[in-house]
Amino acid sequence: MRQVVTQAAGPLRGTMRVPGDKSLSHRAVLFAAMAEGTSVLTGVLDSADVRATIAAVSALGARVEGDIGAVLRVTGWGADGPSTPAGRIDCGNSGTTARLLMGVLAGWPVQVTLTGDDSLSQRPMARVTEPLARMGATFETAEGGTLPVTMRGGALIGIDYESPVASAQIKSAVLLAGLRARGRTIVTEPAPSRDHTERLLPEFGIEVGREPELDLCWVEGPAVPLACDYAVPADPSSAAFPLGAALIVPGSEVVCTGVLLNPTRIGFLLVLARMGADVLAEITQRDSAEFVGDITARFGREMEATLIEPDEVPSLIDEVPLLAVVATQAHGTTRFEGVGELRVKESDRLQAVADALTEMGAIVRSGADWLEVDGPCALRGAALDSLGDHRLAMAYAVAGRACDGEMSIERFEAVDVSWPGFGEALAL
């Protein structure tokens, strides 16, 4: 599907509730499927990625009932364990589904083949299969360690694993496998990554040990989660896009309500504030797992370029395309360092963003793991391809609301991965 985006005729103004957080939606469904009893989940994101997780746990024996956009009831397999599925499990475009499922299944006597679409089938899986194999699971992968992956669960032993990269998916997969392992399973990272698994597992009755100053966490196994009721807050990564649009379209003011304000997820807000953008986050509630609040962004303040350093990247990795668009309107050179992980997302996001901004008239330079954007500049319309990547499609649409001339975006339907209805929300 080709979407045409034009310059906003006037300010973008309004208050909105963006869809539920994708990372927490995946985890809530997975943990509920693993649990004893029936969990009641509200606010689960209705997206292609989360539907892949729901289909996967259903194929493995969990019972999922209700409306994904409102209330879901998930009855888990608990201590009985998952069932061998009738066929392959298709993870679609969802790396979270594939990688966390490997951890969930690693300790059970089932054989499962995980597949994905063309994009997911090019993404690295060895970073997960290697530590899980050390614990006792076995894997057969495609050449290069990619999907399809056929795995057989085994009797697991806890390990002390030092992850080579800061990745919530790797950490989560190992911790979830640790729930079926004998003894303690420890994960140490080179820098903090998203900590949703550590925060949410206690809601399901699982104690998680943490030493944040050492970027270290652990679980004791074997342990079985217990059902709970959980409300998923709004997704900060989705909120970043209308907020970013407000910062570059004159006269705009946008408020996003009920947003997850987990410290490992709001690095983009800290960067925007450092650039001088008029953004304000206010905590309105804190449940037992997460901070939740409202975020306001207003056009008007002059923005200055900044340096995004490698230790900041895990907290804003999904927002780099949006931040790069905003950087075209800041004075000076904004430099992103340590962003090589963008090359193994749904697309090579680093190269794609550099190429797209150049087509829009920006001055951009990039390397293996860095990106520089000069500003301010007047953006012009261009013919772009999202490459089937939802974050690129959304970032290009935001740029289109501030550019001169038409912006056409091929494969715009990719936004359905994280925000069906994004085009309407941005008034495209």
Instruction: Decide: 252 and 299 in contact? Cβ < 8 Å.
Output: yes
Kindly give, in sequence order, each residue whose CB lies less than 8 Å from that of residue 9, ignoring residues fewer than 6 positions away. none
Residue-wise burial string across 305-339, b where 16 or more C-beta atoms lie within 10 A, e elsewhere: bbebebebbbbbbbbbbbbbbbbbbbeeebbbbbb
**What are the beta bridge partners of residue 58?**
none
CATH 3.65.10.10: does it fit domain 3-20+233-425?
yes
Sign of CA pseudo-dihedral 172, 176, 179, 183: negative
Sign of CA pseudo-dihedral 409, 412, 417, 420: positive
Sign of CA pseudo-dihedral 71, 72, 75, 79: negative
Residue pLDDT, tens place only, 327-360: 999 999 999 999 999 998 888 999 999 999 999 9
CA end-to-end span of the chain, whole Å?
14
Out of 318, 374, 385, 389, which one is annotated catalytic? 318
pLDDT at 289: 81
Sign of CA pseudo-dihedral 344, 349, 350, 351: positive
Note the pTM of the prediction, 2 decimals. 0.91
Residue pLDDT, tens place only, 57-76: 999 999 999 999 889 999 99
For domain 22-219, give the fold: UDP-n-acetylglucosamine1-carboxyvinyl-transferase; Chain (3.65.10)
The answer to whether residue 278 is catalytic is no
CA distances to 101, 253, 404 from 10, rounded to whole Å, are 45, 11, 14
Q: Quick check: do 3-20+233-425 and 22-219 share a fold? A: yes
The dihedrals phi and psi of 161, each to the nearest 5 degrees, come to: -110, 125
Phi-psi map region of 313: left, alpha, beta (phi>0 left; psi -120 to 50 alpha): alpha
Q: What is the Cα–Cα distance from 178 to 214, expressed in whole angstroms?
A: 19
List the domain boundaries for the chain.
3-20+233-425, 22-219
| pLDDT, one tens digit for every residue, the chain (428 residues) | 999 999 999 999 999 999 999 999 999 999 999 999 999 999 999 999 999 999 999 999 999 999 998 899 999 999 999 999 999 999 999 999 999 999 999 999 999 999 999 999 999 999 999 999 999 999 999 999 999 999 999 999 999 999 999 999 999 999 999 999 999 999 999 999 999 999 999 999 999 999 999 999 999 999 999 999 999 999 999 999 999 999 999 999 999 999 999 999 999 999 999 999 999 999 998 766 889 999 999 999 999 999 999 999 989 999 999 999 999 999 999 999 999 999 988 889 999 999 999 999 999 999 999 999 999 999 999 999 999 999 999 999 999 999 999 999 999 999 998 899 999 999 86
Sign of CA pseudo-dihedral 217, 317, 52, 154: negative
Q: Which amino acid is at 183?
A: G
Residue pLDDT, tens place only, 370-402: 999 999 999 999 999 999 999 999 999 999 999
**What are the beta bridge partners of residue 142?**
146
